[in-house]
């Protein structure tokens, strides 16, 4: 709502209005600035948190990709190494130091396994936790263990090695009920010629979550696999804490793979171990992170990671909003304080400026009140200042003189325009009166039915048509197009039409007629205008048409044999050069046949897409015409198709057409 709608506002002084207006603008500016600061800090928070979340996700994803890629490449290498070629226990045991070195350079790998088609099972595992050492009753200084199971004899032995790969002890525990051929990693690898990766599962002995990468040997008799533990991911999640209270979890289909908290991720008893589900974590923020609205006071980020080709776990990060907002809140308060100070200064300055500006403005207001009533002889106060108010005073003085002069010139220009429009309207009526039928002709001369129509592109144009009976009994027909448009073309058209109204009665040859008209138009033609023309003499007694063309569009012949163009050896346009020749042609028009003459305003008409109508579309538009129709019906068919094609596009040239039909009842034979 504007202040001017209040009655009290209309009674206060201009200085008060200016002050109130300035105060209102300043308040609005303050509100905008406050809103901007609030929005900006929120945007900064969003962008910063998004970048922090992405950085953490990328770091974890990079670790996954790096670990998995190294293990995958090592597995593929082992599948073609001496490990799959060794057949005896001694041959395999000689490879243990090399396998220990391989595990040492793969921190996420826990075991290297070999399973054969005979059921042999050979494994080297890292004993890097106290739990594993207890599980296998390993010596205190043991760092690695190697188990070998003969699939045929079921002979089983276990060996322990130190960090340098030196053998510490050999044991012969009872043979386990274990067959590598029944394991998922063995079966998946045998069914594929590429490396396979199992879904994450619980490693029974280590009681950790991991996955297995396996690859079959070249002869498909053995499968090599490496186990990857995900325990290092939990440490990475703890290292990636964005704030002190950040929580993070990595899960696959609600089964937890890694968690930044210290809780165990294994549930169940011995023999029935399983992964914890997301809902089993003692963390309501992460459990409810999948809801449409995050928990109050927390920022949640969820991202899918590329662990393997067929495994895409989801990483959920939860950060307390207050911990991230500490610096942003201080920045927001500073911006609000600064904007408040600016508001106070603007209001104070507005009162000072209002008093200075209002007085001279009030004087100017009093002196120019008569302008709204049409009185331009208003008086103005003396110029006292060289500021904007003084400039306004000078501008009003200039405006007073300019308005008077402009009004006088406008009245004169309007009178001249009205006279010109009246003269053009008279010229249009005169021009249309010069052509038979005032622009639309329907006539029958002897056995010839004729329909002609002309539509200038402007008020006056340069097209023409003629059709009349000469003194010798023949029918003279003509269709012409003067170069250019408008008044100049109309005058040249009138001159051409006058010649065509007189000369055909004095000559019997269309060639001599064209030559005479050309010489007359070319004489003293300083404007270099010209006209194209098709004309001819039709003999009703024989149906013979003698015609010639001065650079005009070809005439269409429409009969039972179809539509074709009358082949014509053209002469040059009329009015360009004197002493020109125009070859004459003969054509026999049968009863019931049509001739269509036209100007290029039809074929060169454009639509809104600047596509030209053209001769081929002209012929296509006339093809459905029933030969029993009248010349006017044929013309209306063409005009309707042209109007559909052009649409709302502006007419670019004058349009003229003439349709002639020989009476079908007149059979000379």
Say what the pLDDT of residue 368 is: 65
CATH of the domain at 289: 3.30.450.20
Q: Is there a single domain that holds both residue 307 and residue 440? A: no
Q: What span, in angstroms and rounded, lies between the C-alpha atoms of 62 and 64?
A: 5
Distance CA 409, CA 390 (A): 29
Specify whether 175 is located in the same domain as 297.
yes
C-alpha to C-alpha distances, 210 to 164, 225, 230, 240, nearest whole angstrom = 26, 13, 5, 21
pLDDT at 15: 56
- 628: Cβ contacts below 8 Å, ≥ 6 apart: none
What pLDDT does 313 receive? 84
* Cα–Cα nearest to 51, from 237, 59, 322: 59
Domain-located, residue 386: no
**pLDDT attached to residue 534:** 97
Give the model's pLDDT for residue 251. 82
Same domain, 305 and 169: yes
The pLDDT score that the predictor gives to residue 377 is 65
Q: Does any domain span residue 344?
A: no
Residue 414, classified by CB atoms within 10 Å of its CB into exposed (0-12), middle (13-18) or buried (19+), is exposed
CA distances to 115, 219, 544 from 588, rounded to whole Å, are 102, 94, 5
Q: What's the average pLDDT block by block, 10 residues per block, for the chain (669 residues)?
A: 55 60 71 70 68 74 78 91 90 92 88 94 90 88 94 93 92 91 92 88 76 92 90 72 76 79 67 73 73 72 78 82 69 72 74 65 63 63 65 72 75 71 61 82 95 87 92 95 82 90 90 95 88 96 95 95 89 94 95 96 94 95 94 96 94 93 76
In this structure, are 310 and 441 located in the same domain? no
* Domain annotation covers residue 139: yes
Q: Cβ distance 304 to 313 under 8 Å? A: yes
Report pLDDT for 283: 76
Q: Are residues 312 and 442 in the same domain?
A: no
Cβ neighbours for 518, distance < 8 A, ≥ 6 positions apart:
550, 571, 572, 574, 575, 578, 580, 582
Q: Is the pTM of this model over 0.95?
A: no
Tokens 């002995």: give the residue.
205
State whether 632 and 493 are in the same domain. Answer: yes
Domain count, the chain: 2
Is the same domain home to 314 and 452?
no
Return the structure tokens found at 638.
Answer: 């063409």
Smallest CA-to-CA distance from 480 within 631, 638, 598 is with 598
* 423 located within any domain: no
Here the tokens at position 628 are 């029993």
CATH number at residue 506: 3.60.40.10
Rounded to whole angstroms, the maximal C-alpha distance in the chain is 139
Residues 6 or more apart whose CB falls under 8 angstroms from that of 22 comprise: 346, 347, 349, 350, 351, 353, 354
E-strand ranges in 456-598 read 463-469, 475-482, 531-539, 544-550, 556-559, 562-565, 585-588, 594-598
Final residue belonging to a domain, choices 289, 321, 353: 321
| 226 within a domain of the structure (yes/no) | yes
446 and 308 share one domain:
no
Is residue 228 within 8 Å of residue 52, measured between CB atoms? no
Residue 57 lies in a domain: no
Same domain, 248 and 120: yes
Alpha-carbon distance 544 to 558, whole Å? 16
3-state secondary structure of 651: coil
Which phi and psi angles does 188 have, rounded to 5°?
-65, -40
Q: What span, in angstroms and rounded, lies between the C-alpha atoms of 660 and 452?
A: 9
Where are the extended beta strands (E) located within 398-447?
440-445
Question: Is 50 part of a structural domain of the chain?
Answer: no
CB 662 within 8 A of CB 447: yes
From 302, 321, 340, give the residue that closes a domain.
321
146/572 Cα distance (integer angstroms): 107
Look up the domain containing 551 and give its range: 435-662
- The burial class, CB within 10 Å (0-12 / 13-18 / 19+), for 251 is buried
Three-state SS for 216?
Answer: strand
In a domain, 421, yes or no: no
DSSP β-bridge partners for residue 24: none
Measured CA to CA, the distance from residue 557 to residue 565 in angstroms comes to 6
Q: What does 276-340 look like in DSSP terms, one character per residue?
A: PBGGGSS-HHHHTTTSSSPPTTEEEEEEE---SSS---EEEEEEEHHHHHHHHHHHHHHHHHHHH
The last residue of one of the domains, among 303, 321, 339, is: 321
The predicted structure's pLDDT at residue 669: 44
The pLDDT of residue 348 = 74
């Amino acid at each position: 709502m504007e202040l001017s709608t209040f009655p009290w506002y209309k009674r206060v002084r201009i200085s008060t209005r200016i002050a109130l207006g300035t105060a209102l603008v300043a308040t609005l500016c303050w509100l905008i600035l406050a809103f901007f600061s609030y929005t900006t800090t929120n945007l900064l928070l969003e962008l910063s948190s998004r970048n922090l979340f992405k950085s953490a996700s990328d770091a974890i994803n990079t670790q996954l990709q790096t670990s998995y890629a190294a293990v995958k490449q090592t597995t593929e290498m082992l599948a073609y190494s001496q490990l799959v070629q060794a057949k005896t226990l001694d041959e395999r045991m000689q490879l243990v130091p090399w396998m220990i070195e391989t595990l040492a350079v793969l921190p996420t790998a826990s075991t290297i396994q070999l399973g054969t088609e005979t059921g042999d099972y050979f494994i080297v595992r890292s004993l890097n936790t106290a739990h594993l050492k207890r599980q296998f009753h390993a010596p205190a200084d043991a760092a690695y263990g190697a188990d070998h199971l003969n699939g045929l004899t079921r002979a089983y032995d276990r060996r322990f090695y130190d960090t340098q790969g030196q053998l510490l002890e050999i044991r012969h525990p009872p043979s386990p009920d274990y067959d590598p051929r029944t394991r998922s990693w063995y079966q998946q690898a045998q069914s594929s010629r590429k490396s396979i990766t199992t879904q994450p599962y619980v490693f029974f002995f280590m009681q950790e979550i991991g996955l297995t990468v396996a690859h079959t040997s070249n002869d498909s008799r053995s499968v090599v696999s490496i186990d990857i533990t995900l325990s290092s991911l939990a440490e990475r999640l703890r290292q990636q804490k964005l704030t002190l209270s950040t929580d993070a979890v990595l899960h696959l289909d609600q089964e937890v793979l890694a968690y930044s908290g210290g809780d165990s991720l294994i549930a169940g008893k011995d023999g029935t171990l399983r992964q914890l589900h997301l809902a089993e974590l003692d963390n309501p923020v992460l459990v409810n992170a999948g809801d449409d609205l995050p928990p109050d006071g927390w920022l949640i980020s969820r991202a899918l990671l590329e662990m393997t080709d067929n495994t895409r776990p989801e990483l959920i990060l939860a950060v307390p909003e207050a911990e991230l907002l500490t610096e942003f809140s201080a920045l927001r308060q500073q911006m609000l304080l600064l904007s408040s100070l600016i508001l106070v200064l603007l209001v104070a300055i507005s009162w000072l400026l209002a008093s200075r500006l209002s007085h001279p403005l009030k004087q100017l207001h009093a002196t120019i009140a008569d302008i709204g009533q049409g009185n331009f002889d208003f008086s103005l106060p003396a110029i006292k200042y060289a500021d904007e108010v003084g400039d306004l005073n000078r501008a009003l003085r200039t405006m007073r003189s300019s308005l008077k002069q402009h009004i006088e010139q406008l009245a004169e220009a309007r009178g001249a325009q009205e006279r010109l429009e009246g003269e053009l309207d008279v010229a249009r009526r005169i021009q249309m009166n010069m052509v038979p039928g005032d622009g639309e002709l329907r006539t029958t001369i002897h056995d010839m039915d004729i329909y002609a129509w002309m539509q200038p592109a402007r008020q006056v144009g340069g097209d023409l048509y003629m059709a009349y009976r000469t003194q010798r009994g023949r029918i003279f027909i003509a269709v012409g197009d003067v170069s250019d448009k408008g008044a100049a073309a109309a005058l040249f058209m009138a001159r051409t039409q006058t010649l065509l109204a007189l000369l055909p009665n004095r000559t019997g040859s269309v060639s001599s007629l064209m030559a005479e008209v050309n010489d007359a138009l070319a004489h003293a033609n300083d404007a270099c205008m010209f006209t194209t023309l098709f004309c001819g003499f039709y003999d009703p007694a024989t149906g013979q048409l003698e015609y010639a063309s001065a650079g005009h569009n070809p005439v269409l012949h429409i009969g039972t044999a179809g539509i074709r163009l009358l082949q014509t050896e053209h002469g040059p346009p009329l009015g360009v050069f004197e002493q020109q020749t125009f070859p004459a042609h003969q054509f026999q028009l049968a009863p019931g046949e049509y001739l269509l003459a036209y100007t290029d305003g039809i074929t060169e008409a454009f639509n809104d897409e600047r596509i030209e109508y053209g001769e081929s579309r002209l012929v296509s538009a006339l093809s459905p015409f029933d030969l029993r129709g009248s010349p006017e019906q044929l013309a209306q068919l063409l005009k309707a198709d042209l109007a559909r094609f052009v649409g709302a596009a502006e007419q670019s040239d004058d349009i003229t057409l003439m349709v002639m039909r020989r009476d079908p009842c007149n059979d000379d034979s």
